[in-house]
């Protein structure tokens, strides 16, 4: 069945599907939905967790082997499949189907990945399995709904904003919800909001509490990377680091650009003209020149390697790998600007 993100809590209370599939490109909402599902299954006794990063060449036998490796004394386990592409290959489809055919009581599966297009949802494979899984489609938040979303999040943090404060935040984050949440956390800290207390916030106070970072923003970093401007990209990265921007916000912007470039590159490799490939991937007219410059020096292998590097950076930020995330971001940008 297909459900919206705001229907997830009710669905979890009403029925427990053996597989939940989160699909979308809004990182913050994906993370929060995944946390909600993990908490639900943890409370149900699925205390162990195994994570699989599904990239090109992933061996699905590892996943299937885990399903068969049950024992009398094994713990209930949550298996997470993190997809780095929107479409599963044939072995992946067969593995998901095999799991749902068995639906072993000791396992639950959480799949998360990019937005799935309508054509994929209409395939015979998906329609056959649809009744046995829950697909949670995470849609981007349009600008018209952003003010209400920001107000709700601010209220949750103990902050009562006026209309000018909400407008200032809308202008600052430009639809990036991960950046928006980072700004709200920062505002709560700087304003001294405490649990149970409420702090009124005006637009003037927002500007006073949070210094304008328009000189160094992740969007400018993406522009420099696409253009291959190594020195500028490193300068903007250093500025973001100095301003205390959370590295996952920077990483999210780079991942979004790499995924779009990979989608376009794969269409071109299949014979589409560059203009047609960019149009079908919804590249804005104002960005086509930048995207063309990046595609001129990056092939599919380059893009897959950089996405793998992004995964390692994600692990470094979360303490799962010993590395300095900012140093790794710097190396990633060097590859982004100079590959070819």
* pLDDT tens digits along 202-219: 887 777 665 444 456 788
Q: Convert the pLDDT of each residue in 64-123 to its tens digit.
A: 888 776 544 557 889 999 988 778 888 888 888 888 888 788 889 999 988 888 888 888
Q: Which residues is 80 bridged to in the sheet?
A: 51, 110
Question: What gap in Å lies between CA 9 and CA 15, rounded to an integer?
Answer: 10
Question: What gap in Å lies between CA 206 and CA 191, rounded to an integer?
Answer: 9
Question: What gap in Å lies between CA 232 and CA 307, rounded to an integer?
Answer: 21
Count of helix runs (H) and strand runs (E) in the chain: 17, 8
pLDDT of residue 295: 92
The token duo for 265 is 């590159």
pLDDT of residue 213: 41
Whether CATH 1.10.8.60 fits 146-209? yes
Compute the half-sphere exposure of residue 303: CA atoms within 13 Å on the CB side of its CA: 24
pLDDT of residue 212: 44
Q: What is the dihedral of CA 327, 333, 335, 340, to 10 degrees?
A: -170
Domain residue spans of the chain: 2-138, 146-209, 218-338
Whether CATH 1.20.272.10 fits 218-338? yes
Superfamily of domain 2-138: P-loop containing nucleotide triphosphate hydrolases (3.40.50.300)
pLDDT of residue 209: 67
Q: Are 25 and 253 in contact (CB under 8 A)?
A: no
Q: Are 252 and 185 in contact (CB under 8 A)?
A: no
Return the SS3 of 216.
coil
Q: Stretch 289-302: mean pLDDT, rounded?
A: 91
Q: How far is CA 320 from the centre of its chain?
A: 18
Q: What is the pLDDT of the chain when averaged over all its residues?
A: 84
Tell me the CA distances in angstroms from 201 to 143, 165, 181, 191, one per residue in order. Answer: 21, 6, 16, 9
């Amino acid at each position: 069945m297909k459900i919206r993100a705001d229907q997830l809590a009710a669905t979890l209370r009403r029925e427990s599907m053996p597989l939940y599939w989160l699909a979308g490109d809004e990182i913050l909402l994906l993370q929060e939905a995944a946390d909600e599902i993990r908490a639900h299954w943890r409370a149900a006794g699925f205390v162990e967790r195994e994570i699989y990063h599904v990239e090109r060449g992933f061996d699905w036998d590892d996943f299937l082997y885990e399903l068969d490796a049950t024992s009398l004394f094994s713990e209930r386990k949550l298996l997470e499949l993190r997809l780095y592409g929107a479409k599963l290959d044939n072995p992946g489809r067969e593995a998901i189907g095999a799991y749902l055919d068995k639906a072993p009581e000791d396992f639950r599966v959480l799949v998360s990945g990019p937005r799935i297009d309508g054509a994929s949802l209409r395939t015979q494979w998906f329609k056959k399995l649809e009744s046995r899984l829950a697909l949670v489609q995470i849609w981007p938040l349009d600008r018209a709904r952003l003010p209400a979303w920001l107000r709700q999040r601010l209220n949750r943090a103990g902050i009562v904003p006026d209309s000018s404060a909400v407008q200032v935040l809308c202008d600052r984050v430009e639809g990036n919800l991960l950046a928006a949440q980072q700004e709200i956390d920062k505002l709560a800290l700087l304003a001294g909001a405490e649990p149970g207390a409420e702090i009124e916030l005006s637009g003037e106070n927002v500007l006073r509490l949070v210094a304008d970072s328009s000189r160094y923003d992740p969007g400018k970093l993406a522009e420099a990377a696409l253009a291959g401007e190594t020195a500028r990209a490193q300068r903007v990265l250093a500025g973001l680091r100095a301003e205390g921007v959370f590295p996952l916000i920077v990483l999210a912007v780079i991942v979004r650009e790499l995924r779009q470039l990979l989608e376009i590159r794969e269409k071109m490799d299949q014979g589409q003209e560059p203009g047609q490939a960019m149009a079908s991937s919804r590249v804005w007219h104002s960005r086509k020149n930048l995207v063309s410059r990046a595609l001129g020096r990056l092939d599919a292998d380059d893009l897959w390697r950089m996405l793998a590097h992004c995964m390692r950076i994600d692990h470094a930020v979360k303490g799962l790998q010993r590395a300095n995330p900012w140093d790794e971001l710097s190396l990633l940008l060097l590859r982004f600007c100079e590959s070819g």
